[in-house]
Structure 1
Amino acid sequence: MSSRISVVAASATDAGRVRAHNEDAVLVTDCVFVVADGMGGHAAGEVASSIAVDALRELDAPAGGPGQVVDRVEAANQAILDSVARHPEQAGMATTLAGLAMVTVDGSPRWAAVNVGDSRVYQLVDGRLSQVSQDHSEVAELERSGYLTAAEARVHPARNIVTRCLGRDPVDPVDSWVLLPQQGERFLLCTDGLTNELEDDEIAHLLQDGDDPKVIADALVGAAVEAGGRDNVTVVVVVTSDASPTDAGEDDEETTSR
């Protein structure tokens, strides 16, 4: 089996049925995949999300390690603050970010996932969908604490209030995960415009329907818009065609927070 990860990936985005502008941004390269959900409306949320994905564009080669990915996310935060300093009318702009990048750890290929806010990274292996990232939002914290059920969290009036984002000084902690490649796995990166409209089982069904990531991405976005489209919706679908086997004796995942 190959010692590198071979993938095909594609993105799709839509402003939805309610919002006049699309404040999401997306990045798809050979080895870096990012979605960002801008916040701030008139305070230029679309500028913040664009700055964030541009900062990750500099990783357009397999990163030396997961720390480099986190460093670029923190650099994105500083770039947003620098833009506000130059353009005071942008004060208040911010963005979530979820990313996935190929990295090398001790000479072996790995995936590094990062997250700030409530945009998500999902992994699909053997037909089973799991959320890699952890939402940074008020309702997610209440759900993790046992004060809300998953069903209650989906309709809670505070479900759109994030507790971490890019555009703050000091920078909010960036969560990161290092994943061992698995044969035939797929990844989905998405803004909450998808997850607020579709249940995980529907997402899983669409994510494994065929092998063309562009067709899958379009189907996911189309389903979210059809279900209500109350927010901008953006997805990246990553389909692996070959991957190194997991190393014997190693955990499937390592989680860090900086």
Structure 2
Amino acid sequence: MTAPLALRWGSATSPGGRSTNEDALLAQEDVFVVADGMGGHDAGEVASATAIEVLRSLVGRGADPDTVRDALVEANDRIRALPEGHGRRPGTTVTGVVLTVHESTPCWVVLNVGDSRTYRMVGAVLEQVTRDHSEVAELVADGLVRPDDAPYHPWRHVVTRALGGGTPTVEPDLDVIAVSPGDRMLVCSDGLTDTVPDARIEADLKAESDPQAAADRLVATALAAGATDNVTVLVVDAPAVLPSA
């Protein structure tokens, strides 16, 4: 199956303040995902690479949510089968979008496990379309931590869901949203969002019409702001005019 839309995209990644890069990404035809590995640099790199390897099987299929879920379950099983690294099980977050068609309408299947994020910008307004699976996000949802304090909370990096790790099963968030003309999707690891506020991310996305230039600019902004973690960014643009059904 060919992709229902001719998308444009760009990607950029940097180890940031770390000696190695445990992030991995996939940007190909109709599948755009970022994985942020955990468990020490050897284990984290292998975990994120394993997730990407499994999800690569979705490319060109216009996969529906059930097919995406099956791939995430397979990735979880394969990562759990990896050897432990320095006493910690390998694990990884994963987030992104898969382009598909639902009832003749081009749609994004938005997937998420962990605290990497997917955003959507339409009409020049940036909106986070995934929910962080983290201790701090739960505390904010329960009204125990103010949203403005969340970026500085000592538990901000404690994830409650991941592929691999110590959990035998995976519960991915999967949503389907119709593609709007001119949609710009941003997929990123928390190395960006921990360092750069959403308002600056939105401004950088508006400043660059080319998706590769936008991805490069966001990584440069994070590095200039002193990013201490790996930073990975995918920017995916839908055409301004969509085909009629």
- Which residue pairs with 1:6 in the alignment? 6
Q: Is the 8 A contact 1:5 1:181 kept in 2?
A: no
Q: 126, 129, 141: which is aligned to 1:132?
A: 129
CA gap 1:88/1:151 in 2 versus in 1, 3 angstroms: closer
- Which residue pairs with 2:106 in the alignment? 109
Where do residues 87-102 of structure 1 align in structure 2 (5 Å cutoff)? 92-102=89-99
- Which residue pairs with 2:228 in the alignment? 230
My pick for the range that moved more, 58-67 or 171-180, is 58-67
- Which residue pairs with 1:28 in the alignment? 27
Q: Does 1:208 align with 2:206?
A: yes
Q: Secondary structure at the match of 1:225?
A: helix
Q: Is the 8 A contact 1:6 1:243 kept in 2?
A: no
TM-score, normalised to structure 1, is 0.88
> 2-side partners of 1:132 and 1:245: how far apart?
24
CA gap 1:243/1:38 in 2 versus in 1, 3 angstroms: farther
CA gap 1:65/1:156 in 2 versus in 1, 3 angstroms: same
- Which residue pairs with 1:74 in the alignment? 73
Q: 156, 159, 166: which is aligned to 1:159?
A: 156
Q: CA deviation at 1:42?
A: 4.8
> 1-side partners of 2:29 and 2:241: how far apart?
15
> 1-side partners of 2:151 and 2:225: how far apart?
14
Which amino acid in structure 2 is aligned with residue 202 of structure 1?
R
Q: Secondary structure at the match of 2:75?
A: helix
My pick for the range that moved more, 157-166 or 167-176, is 167-176
- Which residue pairs with 2:177 in the alignment? 179
CA gap 1:139/1:155 in 2 versus in 1, 3 angstroms: same
Which amino acid in structure 1 is aligned with residue 14 of structure 2?
D
- Which residue pairs with 1:58 in the alignment? 57
> 2-side partners of 1:147 and 1:156: how far apart?
12
> 2-side partners of 1:93 and 1:62: how far apart?
28
Which amino acid in structure 2 is aligned with residue 27 of structure 1?
L
Q: How many residues align?
A: 242
Q: CA deviation at 1:70?
A: 1.6
CA RMSD in angstroms comes to 2.0
Q: Is the 8 A contact 1:44 1:90 kept in 2?
A: no
Q: CA deviation at 1:73?
A: 1.2
Q: Secondary structure at the match of 2:212?
A: helix
Percent identity, aligned pairs only, is: 42
Which amino acid in structure 1 is aligned with residue 215 of structure 2?
A
Q: Secondary structure at the match of 1:206?
A: helix
Residue deviations 1:19-44 (CA, integer Å, cap 9, x gap): 11110001100100010000011551
> 2-side partners of 1:245 and 1:29: how far apart?
21
- Which residue pairs with 2:38 in the alignment? 39
Q: CA deviation at 1:172?
A: 2.5
CA gap 1:40/1:64 in 2 versus in 1, 3 angstroms: closer
Q: CA deviation at 1:107?
A: 3.5
Q: Is the 8 A contact 1:181 1:246 kept in 2?
A: no
Q: CA deviation at 1:108?
A: 2.9
Moved over 3 A (4+): 87-91, 242-247
Q: Is the 8 A contact 1:39 1:45 kept in 2?
A: yes
> 2-side partners of 1:164 and 1:180: how far apart?
26
Q: 217, 224, 233: which is aligned to 2:215?
A: 217
Return 5+ residue gaps in structure 2 as ranges: none
Q: CA deviation at 1:210?
A: 2.4
> 2-side partners of 1:228 and 1:107: how far apart?
45
CA gap 1:42/1:230 in 2 versus in 1, 3 angstroms: closer
Return 5+ residue gaps in structure 1 as ranges: 248-258
Q: Secondary structure at the match of 1:173?
A: coil
TM-score, normalised to structure 2, is 0.93
- Which residue pairs with 2:146 in the alignment? 149
